[in-house]
């Protein structure tokens, strides 16, 4: 529609001057009775409306839509609560994961500790071998304190049978001990990679090495396992250093006396060498080609036995010289930052950490609530706008057909 031009304004003024008296004469005037009723209603503050009308269709829609946000808010609140509870349930899963990781670490320790070799050894070796397991499970203590753990199963100690030990192995100075250890560290998800590198560096620093490493990290989780081999004298220092890298959830050590296996391997080597020397002497005295050939064949077999015995001696020596350490890293957002050892007391630092944690949870819940409520509010707003537009359009249409 074109704008009102000055000329149109002048024309409009003329038109109004021309028609105004007649148009104003057509103005409807209210009845005196109605005026009195209206004045009475006004005096009463319109407490008793002239006619209680049924809400219009638009108003009914508005009431329906206004009830929508209430329902939506209730649904969102339920959803947020469900998410919070499921988040806490996820924490329990983490704890279970910890236990599982610990179990895995123990298993790795057993395997790397030469359990299969022990099993393959002679029964005498198994009889003479004594093993002890120490467990300093902090998680068990913590869970016990929290009243969440199942009662620990009793440990039954079986008295050793007769014949344990031998004069050749019972000398205290000749004992050969194989030691292995496992530790589970709770680490903040963002620090898992860094802690894994520190573990590797620690192995190097202790003149050891990393046998295997599997590390996975993500923004909210992750974890990893590392298997180290460190000189046995450095095992305690290594474990102490590892404990500084995260929150110790589980720690265990295994000690096995492999003196008998060592003696057995050495004896086999000495026997083979003695037989080789004997064969060499017999070879010098041999006079026939057939006897010479038989001795040479036997010498080859004995040489192979010597090599096998040497390898066995090296293996069993290595088992006592180096210790296997299984390190499990588990994601734990509540863990103290790497390098901060938790002494169990609750101080300002812990309070600050807890405060940050609470804020993180609040922010997370708020974000989830926002993610739920924002689309809902948008939909409700659109519906309200549509209802309003529909009402306006309906009114204008009603005027057109009037």
Rounded least distance, CB 66 to another protein, Å: 16
Using the minimum distance from each CB to another protein, give the nearer residue, 23 or 280. Answer: 23
The CA-based angle 323-222-205, given to 5 degrees, is 35
Could you tell me the sign of the dihedral formed by the alpha carbons of 192, 198, 201, 207, in that order?
A: negative
Instruction: Please choose, out of 53-61, 97-105, 296-304, 352-360, the segment that lies near another protein by the rule CB under 8 A.
Output: 53-61
Q: Is the CB of residue 148 less than 8 Å from the CB of residue 294?
A: no
Strand ordering across the sheet containing 177-187: 131-135, 247-257, 177-187, 322-331, 222-231, 209-217
Could you tell me the sign of the dihedral formed by the alpha carbons of 116, 119, 120, 121, in that order?
A: positive
Rounded least distance, CB 399 to another protein, Å: 5
Across the strands, what pairs with 212?
227
6 binds another protein (CB under 8 A): no
385 binds another protein (CB under 8 A): no
163 binds another protein (CB under 8 A): no
2 binds another protein (CB under 8 A): yes
The CA-based angle 176-203-218, given to 5 degrees, is 130
Cα 15 from Cα 20, distance rounded (Å): 8
Cα 335 from Cα 342, distance rounded (Å): 9
Q: Is the CB of residue 323 less than 8 Å from the CB of residue 177?
A: no
Residues 6+ apart with CB under 8 A from 384: 62, 65
Using the minimum distance from each CB to another protein, give the nearer residue, 19 or 351. Answer: 19
300 binds another protein (CB under 8 A): no
Instruction: Please choose, out of 23-31, 102-110, 123-131, 132-140, the segment that lies near another protein by the rule CB under 8 A.
Output: 23-31
- Of 399, 224, 221, 232, nearest to 329 by C-alpha is 224
**Of 179-238, which residues contact another protein (CB under 8 A)?**
none
Q: Phi and psi at residue 213, in whole multiples of 5°?
A: -150, 130
157 binds another protein (CB under 8 A): no
Instruction: Please choose, out of 42-50, 190-198, 217-225, 270-278, the segment that lies near another protein by the rule CB under 8 A.
Output: 42-50
28 binds another protein (CB under 8 A): yes
Instruction: Please choose, out of 52-60, 88-96, 223-231, 334-342, the segment that lies near another protein by the rule CB under 8 A.
Output: 52-60
Q: How many residues bind another protein (CB under 8 A)?
A: 51
Using the minimum distance from each CB to another protein, give the nearer residue, 300 or 393. Answer: 393
17 binds another protein (CB under 8 A): no
Per CB under 8 A, the list member of 119, 145, 289, 402 interacting with another protein is 402
Per CB under 8 A, the list member of 60, 296, 300, 395 interacting with another protein is 395
Could you tell me the sign of the dihedral formed by the alpha carbons of 119, 122, 123, 127, in that order?
A: negative
Instruction: Please choose, out of 67-75, 330-338, 354-362, 389-397, the segment that lies near another protein by the rule CB under 8 A.
Output: 389-397
Per CB under 8 A, the list member of 45, 147, 161, 344 interacting with another protein is 45
Provide the 10 A C-beta neighbour count for residue 179.
Answer: 20
Using the minimum distance from each CB to another protein, give the nearer residue, 17 or 289. Answer: 17
Residues 6+ apart with CB under 8 A from 381: none
Which spans of this chain sit near another protein (rule: CB under 8 A)? 1-4, 8-9, 11-12, 15-16, 18-20, 22-31, 34-35, 37-39, 41-47, 49-51, 53, 56-58, 394-402
């Amino acid at each position: 529609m074109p704008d009102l031009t000055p000329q149109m304004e002048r024309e409009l003024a003329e038109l109004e001057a021309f028609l105004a008296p007649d148009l104003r004469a057509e103005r409807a005037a209210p009845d005196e009775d109605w005026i009195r009723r209206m004045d009475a209603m006004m005096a009463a503050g319109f407490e008793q409306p002239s006619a209680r009308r049924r809400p219009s269709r638009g108003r009914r829609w508005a009431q329906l839509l206004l009830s929508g946000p209430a329902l939506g808010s209730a649904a969102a609140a339920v959803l947020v609560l469900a998410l919070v509870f499921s988040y806490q349930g996820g924490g329990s899963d983490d704890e279970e994961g910890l236990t599982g990781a610990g179990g895995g670490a123990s298993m790795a320790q057993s395997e790397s500790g030469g359990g299969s070799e022990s099993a393959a050894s002679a029964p005498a070796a198994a009889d003479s071998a004594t093993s002890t397991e120490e467990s300093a499970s902090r998680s068990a203590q913590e869970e016990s304190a929290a009243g969440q753990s199942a009662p620990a199963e009793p440990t039954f100690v079986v008295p050793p049978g007769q014949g344990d030990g031998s004069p050749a192995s019972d000398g205290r100075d000749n004992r050969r001990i194989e030691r292995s250890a496992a530790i589970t560290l709770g680490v903040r998800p963002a620090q898992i990679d860094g802690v894994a590198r520190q573990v590797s560096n620690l192995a190097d620093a202790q003149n050891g090495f990393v046998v295997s490493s599997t590390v996975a990290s993500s923004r909210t989780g992750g974890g990893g396992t590392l298997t180290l081999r460190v000189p046995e004298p450095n095992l305690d220092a290594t474990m102490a250093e590892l404990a500084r890298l995260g929150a110790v959830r589980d720690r265990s050590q295994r000690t096995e006396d492999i003196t008998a296996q060592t003696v057995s391997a050495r004896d086999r080597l000495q026997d083979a060498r003695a037989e080789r020397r004997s064969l060499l002497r017999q070879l010098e005295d041999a006079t026939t080609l057939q006897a010479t050939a038989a001795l040479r064949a036997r010498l080859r077999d004995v040489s192979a036995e010597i090599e096998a015995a040497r390898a066995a001696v090296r293996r069993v020596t290595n088992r006592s010289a180096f210790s296997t350490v299984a390190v499990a890293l588990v994601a734990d957002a509540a863990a103290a930052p790497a390098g901060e050892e938790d002494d169990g007391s609750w101080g300002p630092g812990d309070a600050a950490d807890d405060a940050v944690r609470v804020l993180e949870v609040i922010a997370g819940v708020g974000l989830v609530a926002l993610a739920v409520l924002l689309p809902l509010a948008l939909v409700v707003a659109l519906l309200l706008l549509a209802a309003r537009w529909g009402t306006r359009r309906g009114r204008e249409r009603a005027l057109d057909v009037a």
